């Protein structure tokens, strides 16, 4: 029996506004599963031509799969969102690249013919579930020197990256962080940020009901001078601060994927076409360099080069991690192709949800850029990994 692979397309993506984790954050008394349920419902509302029973799978990622992020959240979120009982679902974890892996996993199933349509996304409520809650790392990791103890603290791995590449200075990291804030603010003012947001009803025992309609983490007007004086919590006289790293955040994302022929059949929009992807492992102590080999692998497998990529959506867990990627590929720190609407340093990084935020933004940028054929979404991943996904713009007008 021979099989032919099908083209997979990104139909649509949405996200909640991202909040600040903690008792003062806007989602402090909102359940994590309700955040992702809201995203699933919005996807179905925005695409009424898709019969609910045509959804073949729901894959939802969470890094901390306990409490209101547990209980096989892909299945429970599907039920809570009102999808038919016949629609299965599962949970997935690849730390920060959870939603990215939910997309690549279900997309692989679509390409193979196991699914026609899938929903993939992620959620992280870091206010309810701080990173590392409930985990019990095997003591052999450190006692047998499998990893250095710093490998289990993401901020420390970013400091290690500064050590390995001393030319990636704190000044460069701070300047990149200010650029992220400025680009986000400009995109928000221009209406680029907003159409993908799903309003979320929130509650507070003190303030009653509210409606989350905007991202909470951005700090407009941030300056390099202000960042220079921030504390370095991971190391005395270090380089990593709250200003040049993503914060602790709450939020959810969801995307709709389909076989291209099925999307055409159902009249679904085609935001972008999957070209290929790669995941790679690196030393856990410098996990921030992970997107480099992951991207090299994805490029090699698709026959493309870095020069073919016209837009980059790189997750800004730490500024130094993005700088390491840019330096490796000979891309300037302020290259306009990189995170044109800002990144996680400004908008936040609710761990497992962020991969679909990158994809949703790239898809919307493609619609405005018919001159760009290929784009890339990439991110570093805890415990020493990187992930990279290459997409093609269906609006590309060809060589002029």
Element (H or E) spanning 22, and its range?
none
> Which is the catalytic residue, given 128, 129, 162, 349?
349
Which residue, chain included where needed, has tokens 């200010």?
A: 178
| Torsion angle, alpha carbons of 41, 43, 48, 53, to 10 | -70
Cα(81)–Cα(93) distance, rounded to whole angstroms?
Answer: 21
| Strand ranges (E), the chain | 8-15, 19-20, 57-61, 89-92, 117-125, 200-204, 208-212, 249-259, 272-281, 309-314, 374-381, 385-392
Residue 96 annotated as catalytic: yes
Q: Is 349 a residue of the active site? A: yes
221: which residues sit within 8 A by CB, 6+ positions away? 181
Q: How far apart are CA 284 and CA 146, in angstroms?
A: 10
3-state secondary structure of 245: strand
Active-site option among 96, 125, 128, 239: 96
End-to-end CA distance of the chain: 42
At 26, list the tokens: 């806007």
Give the max Cα distance, the chain: 65
Q: Is 39 labeled as catalytic in the residue annotation?
A: no
Neighbours of 64 (CB within 10 A): 23
DSSP 314-364: E--SBHHHHHHHHHHTT--TT-TTB-TT--HHHH---GGGHHHHHHHHHHH
**What is d(CA 110, CA 118) in angstroms, rounded to the nearest whole number?**
8
Q: Where are the alpha helices (DSSP H) in 221-290?
A: 224-228, 260-266
- Identified catalytic residue from 39, 129, 162, 380: 380
Q: Which residue has the tokens 């409520």?
A: 125
The catalytic residues are 96, 349, 380
């Amino acid at each position: 029996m021979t099989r032919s692979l099908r083209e997979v397309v990104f139909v649509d993506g949405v996200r909640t506004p991202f909040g600040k984790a903690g008792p003062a954050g806007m989602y402090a008394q909102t359940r994590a599963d309700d955040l992702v349920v809201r995203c699933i419902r919005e996807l179905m509302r925005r695409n009424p031509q898709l019969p609910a029973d045509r959804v073949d799978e729901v894959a939802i990622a969470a890094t901390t799969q306990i409490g209101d992020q547990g209980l096989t959240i892909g299945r429970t979120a599907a039920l809570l969102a009102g999808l038919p009982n016949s629609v299965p679902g599962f949970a997935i974890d690849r730390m920060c690249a959870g939603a990215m892996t939910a997309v690549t996993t279900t997309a692989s199933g679509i390409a193979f013919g196991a699914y026609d349509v899938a929903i993939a996304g992620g959620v992280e409520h870091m206010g309810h579930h701080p990173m590392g809650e409930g985990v019990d790392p095997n003591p052999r990791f450190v006692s047998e020197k499998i990893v250095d103890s710093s490998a289990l603290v993401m901020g420390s791995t970013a400091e290690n990256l500064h050590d390995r590449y001393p030319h990636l200075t704190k000044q460069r990291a701070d300047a990149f962080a200010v650029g992220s804030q400025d680009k986000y603010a400009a995109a928000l003012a221009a209406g680029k940020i907003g159409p993908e947001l799903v309003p979320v009803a929130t509650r507070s025992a003190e303030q009653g009901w509210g409606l989350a309609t905007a991202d909470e983490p951005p700090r407009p007007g941030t300056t390099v001078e202000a960042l220079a004086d921030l504390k370095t919590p991971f190391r005395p006289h270090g380089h990593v601060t709250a200003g040049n790293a993503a914060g602790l955040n709450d939020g959810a994302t969801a995307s709709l994927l389909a076989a291209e022929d099925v999307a055409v059949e159902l009249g679904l929009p085609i935001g972008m076409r999957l070209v290929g992807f790669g995941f790679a492992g690196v030393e856990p102590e410098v996990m921030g360099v992970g997107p480099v080999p992951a991207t090299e692998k994805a490029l090699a497998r698709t026959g493309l080069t870095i020069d073919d990529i016209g837009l980059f959506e790189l997750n800004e867990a730490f500024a130094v991690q993005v700088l390491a990627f840019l330096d490796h590929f000979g891309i300037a720190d302020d290259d306009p192709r990189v995170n044109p609407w800002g990144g996680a340093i400004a908008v936040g990084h609710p761990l497992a949800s962020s991969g679909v935020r990158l994809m949703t933004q790239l898809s919307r940028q493609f619609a405005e850029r018919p001159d760009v054929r290929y784009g890339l979404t990439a991110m570093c991943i805890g415990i020493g990994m990187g992930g990279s996904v290459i997409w093609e713009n269906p609006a590309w007008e060809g060589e002029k």
